[in-house]
Structure 1
């Protein structure tokens, strides 16, 4: 079942379905099952402990396999085959989520080859009868609230309820008390740090020096990770009760979440430069080095671990540094980012570092496969798409090298835990790991799970732990949910905003940024067309609601919403009859309807809206299923390798004969030249935009503007009227190479007579990682479902280097779907701000069917 909650291209159907379930799930009961195969795995459980359950549908020995992991993500064994056969279909169909715990085993007569486990099942109330029947048919006993054995349950949720009622005062802390004790453990520990002057030529702002001190301090800390304690020579995770004699590795990294435009890239280059020079430059911050060594000594005494003695000391810039055995290995940093962000890193290197001081290799396009060549460089830059493409290549140097440090720039791009690019970055080998993003939460708190998995932050890197401890209380609107999320984020992240709530300059004193909404009234002709299409769409959606098939028809609903949004921009974007596009049935065989096949393909070609639901990238070699859903060929073929393969969107059974390659569509430029030859009237929104731009020009002829749109076709439609109005125009979109994008940005940045004054920019291609501070006006031509994407776009202009007040204009058609999108944005903003300790709200559930009714006026 595919969730319609997101109302945007799915970011991984398994994640969406998990969140839909969590919003209404209740504890059904628990079953007893054995963990077997203990002697084949190194994972150990010594007492009462929460464990993670992970489905292995591709296990060659058992398609129902469920592996068991301890807190440190080390495999303990598998759930016994018979029990797994009963539980796996429930998990795969997203009817249940599971929480498992090993009760404290008896010390005597313990079977060394198996371990008893309580598996708690959570389901929506309407699914409970199905769950009961499936468990019974599988030969398992479901122990529910009314059973006399239920008191034996050791689930966290039951233990917490019991402790609230009994208040026995045994001294054990509740989960919420444990979270509260770890909040912001790094606060105040690390002083500001100067970068080495022989590499970093520019003077850092004070907040950048403080950020550098925080980065260096975390990388060189020897503290126990959050939620771990040293007890009598052993180490215990206080959340899960996992106990081990082996000291857990320090979490050397975190989330660098400074607001967009605060100079995170330069701060990271300074971090890399410090390693290039050999360590802490005491001449610039001797107090930091002393404080760092004091903390190392203190944490070592607490944990009982001896401090590693320095190997040698040498001079650097007139000061001494400590060099351990770590200094003897290559210190190559891998930077992973979208192609558009290459430009930003290269520009920062050119502007702020000594030429030739840092060696950089672009692992993109034509690239070496020799690890030794890569390790000769200080920085290796690659893209998420490149890592994804090489994920299954055993010869890829990306998988072979143990990097000194991995930096994920625009780290929110791995929000889908099921995507190949996410799995690829998680699999990278490195002790130091940084997730860098100004918008770590874009859609929901579940976006953070992938970051936890990348950072190896145990136990939250295991999905079942994340769901049990964070997601469930959030989605059930418990106050503890946002408190836990804030505490967790506070332990591993640094976030500063560049302006105060009133829009005034914050840590760097930037000019004010104002956001205004410009409401547009459609013409009589446009309004008639919009109302007609909306009426047809409402009838279609009512049919889905009446037949309870709305969630299955995810792709069709997306297409309907897309067309309504396009009409708000320009009728030229949308066909006159929506029924000519929509299939009468969501499961119509498109092989029997070649015209529908062609139109589905054109949707992908028309804008930035559609990504492959599996890999979260624009589809490569577009394949359309018989149930009218769009995927990359490689992604859907991989799905077909699974047992009982089905469509990831609607769960319709699939085989290779149900897949169809999309035909090629005409280029936009051909279409647009024909449109212009008809001298068609300008749309109401385009007319309004021209009036605003001309008013800006009259007030200040040197004012530069960036116009963002999600639709590449719209960008082309805008070119001609803007040129006719006397503007010099450039365009930046996802079809351009990195070199071409760089050239466009340089031309736009130039000043003087005849230089471009307007940049037409694709929201996805230009919405992150580039510097457009040459402009002072931003026009968001239409709203996007995700407010974080819009914030990324507008802050390409409002950033360090901006000298003028920035004005952002959001263009919204009155009494349309665009106004309702703004309502959705407010929901998402409230959760994102709450995670970082700002004003929170109880309205943290994702958009559900009732919200869709409101959006469509039904």
Structure 2
């Protein structure tokens, strides 16, 4: 399951050193797990059948949960999941290994005549000889990596990469996967129809001038990396350029009044210890995690998207300082100074995180309620809407006129854009609530209950950082996706928050996109990934988040 295994072009010494490191780590994990298993009643029993629900939770085979599941003894094993493949193909290895699927769950030795076959690396104390066959680490390989992961990482969707997708479909999915889709069980589920539309708009002259200025600058920087042959080495900065372009299409304020822009301009809105800034979206970090050794903070979802989209061969570096990036997304500690870092003491005192206030005086006025987030950095007397915001308002007014009882879900990648939308919707006299990843459990439940139970609450704003999954919002029949992502499955999952059992109204989902901007290219990139994926693996089983070098060139082309 280590995706980089065997994928590079280094010498035997480098490969041997890398495999020695992996073998040592595997041994340490195995010894730790064996100590735990000796004390565990569950691990001492031999089960007839083990069924993992939400099996994608073990997608990282190195996490303790996955290791514990692998060590259970059973005659039969099942995995239940709506999204067995979420971000990258390598995540499937945990399910393949848990199910003991032949031959891809195993490691083999390529020494002539050797029939060594094992589920994990097992080498002696010096990591020089296999405990089963006596051959060295460099002779051993993961069958799943060799046949599937490495070709896809190296070649993407063409040539050997496409052949690897076919192998994945025929040798893994076709032999082990029993699929139940909404389309295939439509008569049994009796779900109402679902209509997904794409609403394309044009920026006004002022917005387009602002966007073009950022795009021209970004394209020049991108071109410089191409000329120097350092494109992949600078992926962290390229990801930053793409983020700024996407934000400028939503609203120029997201770039002009981001915390980074204020700090660089000496505006005095510097971050405080209680509000670390995400070094990818440049807003208060949501569910913050810190990279080591540099300590820079990120939203957990931002850094997850950054890692998932990183092209094969590109070094994972901190987007702020370019040091090697090291973040454990499964159990990362909160960033220093974050609300989560002192959450325990705050909980003991009965204090809950303060929610942003979006009423009363503006950031430039004196009296009234103090605004938080991006609204606190604006002169609200000079507030201007944006093309996307007004397009959404037209949709909401039309929804209310057609069905006064209708409710809507609005999704965005950017928390600050949701703050702007909340202000604009409230100003129109529409009752709205907002859900983001920084909320306490109690606050989150309060927002969801208000949306579900209060007839007057018509709109809920949801950050994808708060999770497009694990929400049941069948009270809504309209879904608005404010900004596209090159991972199309994220949009499917968002729409499925309302289109599921318990829904009795037809669902209308609108994907907003702005013409002649990077968003059009993201939509086309989505279509390309979807066609390739459905043509090989089949259906809408998951997503491919990784961006190739060709994808990056496409996004920045004229």
- TM-score bin (small chain): 0.5 to 0.7
| Paired residues of 1:533 and 1:578 also in contact (CA < 8 A) | no
1:429 equivalent in alignment to 2:98: no
Q: What per-residue deviation string (whole Å, max 9, x for no partner) do you get for residues 731-762 of structure 1?
A: 1221223343333323322264x3x1111112
| Paired residues of 2:468 and 2:497 also in contact (CA < 8 A) | yes
Return 5+ residue gaps in structure 2 as ranges. Answer: 107-140, 265-269, 304-314, 327-334, 340-353, 357-371
Question: Residues of 2 paired with 1:737 and 1:397: CA distance?
Answer: 37
2:485 is aligned to 784
Which of 440, 463, 469 is equivalent to 2:147?
Answer: 469
2:550 is aligned to 850
Superposition map of 1:29-68 within 5 A: 55-57=19-21
Which of 767, 771, 783 is equivalent to 2:472?
Answer: 771
TM-superposed deviation, 1:527: 0.9
Task: Provide closer, same or farther for how the CA distance between residues 493 and 739 of structure 1 changes in structure 2, counting only shifts above 3 A.
Answer: farther
1:451 is aligned to 95
Q: Secondary structure, in 3 states, of the residue corresponding to 2:104?
A: coil
2:138 is aligned to none
1:672 is aligned to 375
| Paired residues of 1:498 and 1:507 also in contact (CA < 8 A) | no
Task: Provide closer, same or farther for how the CA distance between residues 699 and 59 of structure 1 changes in structure 2, counting only shifts above 3 A.
Answer: closer
Question: Residues of 1 paired with 2:144 and 2:186: CA distance?
Answer: 36
1:717 is aligned to 420
Superposition map of 1:435-834 within 5 A: 435-462=79-106, 464-471=142-149, 475=155, 477=159, 481-487=164-170, 488-499=172-183, 505=186, 507-575=188-256, 601-603=277-279, 618-621=287-290, 625=294, 648-649=316-317, 669-675=372-378, 677-750=380-453, 752=455, 754=456, 756-834=457-535
| Paired residues of 1:723 and 1:729 also in contact (CA < 8 A) | yes
Task: Provide closer, same or farther for how the CA distance between residues 793 and 560 of structure 1 changes in structure 2, counting only shifts above 3 A.
Answer: same
TM-superposed deviation, 1:821: 1.2
Q: Secondary structure, in 3 states, of the residue corresponding to 2:192?
A: coil
Q: Secondary structure, in 3 states, of the residue corresponding to 1:554?
A: helix
Superposition map of 1:74-473 within 5 A: 401-402=42-43, 410-412=54-56, 414-415=58-59, 420=63, 424=67, 429=72, 431=74, 433-462=77-106, 464-471=142-149
Q: Which moved more, 1:447-456 or 1:470-479?
A: 470-479
Question: Residues of 1 paired with 2:262 and 2:376: CA distance?
Answer: 24
Task: Provide closer, same or farther for how the CA distance between residues 409 and 546 of structure 1 changes in structure 2, counting only shifts above 3 A.
Answer: farther
Q: What per-residue deviation string (whole Å, max 9, x for no partner) do you get for residues 351-377 of structure 1?
A: xxxxxxxxxxxxxxxxxxxxxxxxxxx
TM-score normalised by L of structure 2: 0.67
Greater Rg over alpha carbons, structure: 1
Question: Residues of 2 paired with 1:577 and 1:744: CA distance?
Answer: 26
Q: Secondary structure, in 3 states, of the residue corresponding to 1:779?
A: strand
Question: Residues of 1 paired with 2:23 and 2:146: CA distance?
Answer: 25
TM-superposed deviation, 1:833: 2.7
TM-superposed deviation, 1:481: 3.4
Q: Secondary structure, in 3 states, of the residue corresponding to 1:749?
A: helix
Q: Secondary structure, in 3 states, of the residue corresponding to 2:510?
A: strand
Question: Residues of 1 paired with 2:39 and 2:444: CA distance?
Answer: 26
TM-superposed deviation, 1:410: 4.7
Task: Provide closer, same or farther for how the CA distance between residues 551 and 670 of structure 1 changes in structure 2, counting only shifts above 3 A.
Answer: closer
Q: Secondary structure, in 3 states, of the residue corresponding to 1:722?
A: helix
TM-superposed deviation, 1:711: 1.5
Q: What per-residue deviation string (whole Å, max 9, x for no partner) do you get for residues 212-238 of structure 1?
A: xxxxxxxxxxxxxxxxxxxxxxxxxxx
TM-superposed deviation, 1:424: 4.8
Question: Residues of 2 paired with 1:678 and 1:499: CA distance?
Answer: 50
Task: Provide closer, same or farther for how the CA distance between residues 689 and 449 of structure 1 changes in structure 2, counting only shifts above 3 A.
Answer: same
| Paired residues of 1:785 and 1:821 also in contact (CA < 8 A) | yes
TM-superposed deviation, 1:855: 0.4
| Paired residues of 2:278 and 2:288 also in contact (CA < 8 A) | no
| Paired residues of 1:556 and 1:582 also in contact (CA < 8 A) | no
| Paired residues of 2:451 and 2:460 also in contact (CA < 8 A) | yes
Question: Residues of 1 paired with 2:40 and 2:225: CA distance?
Answer: 46
| Paired residues of 1:706 and 1:761 also in contact (CA < 8 A) | yes
TM-score normalised by L of structure 1: 0.45
2:349 is aligned to none
1:281 is aligned to none
| Paired residues of 2:5 and 2:150 also in contact (CA < 8 A) | no
Question: Residues of 2 paired with 1:541 and 1:655: CA distance?
Answer: 22
Task: Provide closer, same or farther for how the CA distance between residues 654 and 522 of structure 1 changes in structure 2, counting only shifts above 3 A.
Answer: closer
TM-superposed deviation, 1:498: 0.8
TM-superposed deviation, 1:832: 4.0
| Paired residues of 1:606 and 1:713 also in contact (CA < 8 A) | no
| Paired residues of 2:258 and 2:374 also in contact (CA < 8 A) | no
Question: Residues of 2 paired with 1:505 and 1:814: CA distance?
Answer: 35
Question: Residues of 1 paired with 2:191 and 2:71: CA distance?
Answer: 37
RMSD: 4.8
Return 5+ residue gaps in structure 1 as ranges. Answer: 1-11, 36-52, 68-73, 76-390, 584-593, 612-617, 636-646
Task: Provide closer, same or farther for how the CA distance between residues 398 and 696 of structure 1 changes in structure 2, counting only shifts above 3 A.
Answer: farther
Question: Residues of 2 paired with 1:568 and 1:398: CA distance?
Answer: 56
Q: Secondary structure, in 3 states, of the residue corresponding to 1:57?
A: helix
Question: Residues of 2 paired with 1:663 and 1:523: CA distance?
Answer: 41
